[in-house]
């Protein structure tokens, strides 16, 4: 079953899919090059060389996000169970990896609420203030009025979620829905 962006388990699912496709394409390239060396026909050699070169492009498209997200895995099931009670007051997205010009940000969870966006990021050696500023610059273009707040510690993130109250105005306003779609589009 394929996981959608924002669902729990998305990172691991995409990692397995990208790894499988990359390995199949690498095997196809090697088979084409091996077949090239086994034939004596010059036209066949040229065709097999071109086929191998053209197969490299989709392999690179699969391998580059795979390498960028290699060390980021889905958090343990216990983490998701801690967040389930808060799904009533806000939309929670799991396992997104947001990318900006400067950063690759593994977000274990993002809570989207009409009052703002609260993200739990587990990246090591991250300057949270600069990353937050970079993300907010993207949000002023795509979703004016919404601000993102990064949390590096799980307890601080959970305390913030605890303070959120369910709001009905968001259903009519569509700000939450558009912020969710913008976050998914920023994710790889």
Mean predicted confidence (pLDDT) in 7-12:
84
106 has pLDDT over 80? yes
Residues 146 and 101 in one domain: yes
Mean predicted confidence (pLDDT) in 29-44:
91
Q: Cα–Cα distance between 129 and 121 in angstroms, integer?
A: 12
Domain boundaries, position 34:
10-68
Which of the two residues, 75 and 24, has the higher pLDDT score?
24
Residues 160 and 178 in one domain: yes
89 has pLDDT over 90? no
132 domain residue, yes or no: yes
Residues 26 and 107 in one domain: no
Confidence of residue 181 (pLDDT cuts 50, 70, 90): confident
Boundary residue ending a domain (68, 85, 103) = 68
Residues 159 and 93 in one domain: yes
Question: In total, how many domains does the chain have?
Answer: 2
Q: Cα–Cα distance between 54 and 158 in angstroms, integer?
A: 48
Residues 87 and 114 in one domain: yes
5 domain residue, yes or no: no
Question: Kindly report the CA angle at 172 between 170 and 174, in degrees rounded to 5?
Answer: 65
46 domain residue, yes or no: yes
> In the chain, what is the straight-line distance between the N-terminal and C-terminal CA atoms, in Å?
19
175-186 vs 128-142: helix axis angle to the nearest 10? 120
103 has pLDDT over 70? yes
Mean pLDDT, all residues of the chain: 83
Residues 107 and 164 in one domain: yes
Mean predicted confidence (pLDDT) in 34-57:
91
Residues 106 and 24 in one domain: no
In the numeric block, which tokens belong to residue 44? 């066949």
Instruction: Give the best-scoring range by mean pLDDT among 16-20, 92-96, 121-125, 126-130.
Output: 16-20
Residues 28 and 94 in one domain: no
Residues 62 and 83 in one domain: no
Residues 86 and 64 in one domain: no
Residues 122 and 140 in one domain: yes
145 has pLDDT over 50? yes
- pLDDT confidence of residue 170: 47
Own/partner long-range contacts of 180-185 (Cβ < 8 Å, ≥24 apart): 180/6, 180/91, 180/93, 180/112, 182/139, 182/142, 182/143, 183/6, 183/93, 183/96, 183/98, 183/110, 183/112, 183/117, 184/5, 184/6, 184/93, 184/96
| Helix ranges, 69-111 (H) | 77-83
């Amino acid at each position: 079953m394929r996981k959608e962006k924002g669902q729990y388990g998305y990172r691991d699912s995409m990692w397995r899919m990208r790894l499988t496709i990359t390995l199949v394409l690498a095997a196809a390239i090697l088979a084409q090059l091996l077949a090239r060396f086994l034939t004596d026909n010059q036209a066949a050699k040229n065709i097999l060389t071109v086929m191998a070169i053209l197969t490299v492009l989709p392999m690179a498209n699969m391998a580059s996000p795979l390498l960028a997200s290699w060390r980021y895995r889905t958090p343990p099931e216990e983490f998701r169970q801690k967040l389930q009670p808060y799904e009533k007051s806000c939309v929670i997205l799991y396992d997104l990896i947001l990318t900006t010009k400067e950063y690759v940000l593994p977000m274990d969870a993002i809570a989207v609420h009409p009052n703002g966006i609260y993200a739990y990021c587990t990246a090591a050696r991250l300057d949270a203030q600069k990353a937050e500023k970079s993300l907010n610059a993207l949000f002023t273009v795509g979703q004016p009025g919404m601000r993102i707040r990064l949390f590096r510690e799980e307890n601080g993130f959970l305390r913030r979620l605890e303070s959120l109250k369910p709001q009905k105005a968001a259903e009519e306003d569509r700000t939450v829905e558009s912020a969710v779609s913008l976050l998914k589009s920023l994710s790889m």
